[in-house]
Amino acid sequence: MPHAHEEEVLARIAKGLVYTESEAAFQGPRRRTEQIFEYNHTPPGETEKRRSLLVAIFGSVGERTVLLPPFHAGFGSNVHIGDDFFGNVNLAFVDDVDIRIGSGVMIAPSVTLTTTGHPVHPSRRADFGRFSEPIVIEDKAWIGSNAVVLPGVRIGYGSVIGAGSVVSRSIPPMTVAVGAPCRVVRPITDEDLTTRTAGQ
């Protein structure tokens, strides 16, 4: 059972309020650092070992999950992934709180999913002051290379996030969104059944 101080810190984290590195130190044992290191150094053919490591690292992981190493995670245990997921190389999970990824999601190389930010005023960043809000990526979304998804964002069903985007606000389902900051540029329609890219 958590001590009263730990419960108070966890309650603040859950509300998206500022907390410090020292206050959150009790969460250290939940980090999956060793397993992540081992996963990132597995030979390509060891698919069963990779699968068992992902089960040990993540809070939950679905069937037919492909995650190309290396990947990085602050905890690992706060990441939840559905079925038929594909994550390309250099995927970074800043998972101080939950990152929930649906089924059929595709994530391109060098994407960052960060649940945590820092206060603007420097005095509030003492002892690495920070706040955390969960990220949700709904089923069948596709996130392009080098995109950054910021705290509290929900990416809707089937949506496409363009390469290099900085997603600071939630994106509705079945839309194409690009840019820094990321903005919706158009809906996804039946016409896209006969086109190759979002730009056609």
Active site residue 118: yes
- Full 3-state SS string of 9-36: HHHHHHCCCCECCCCCHHHHHHECHHHH
Catalytic entry in 5, 80, 118, 121:
118
Q: Which residues form the catalytic set? A: 118
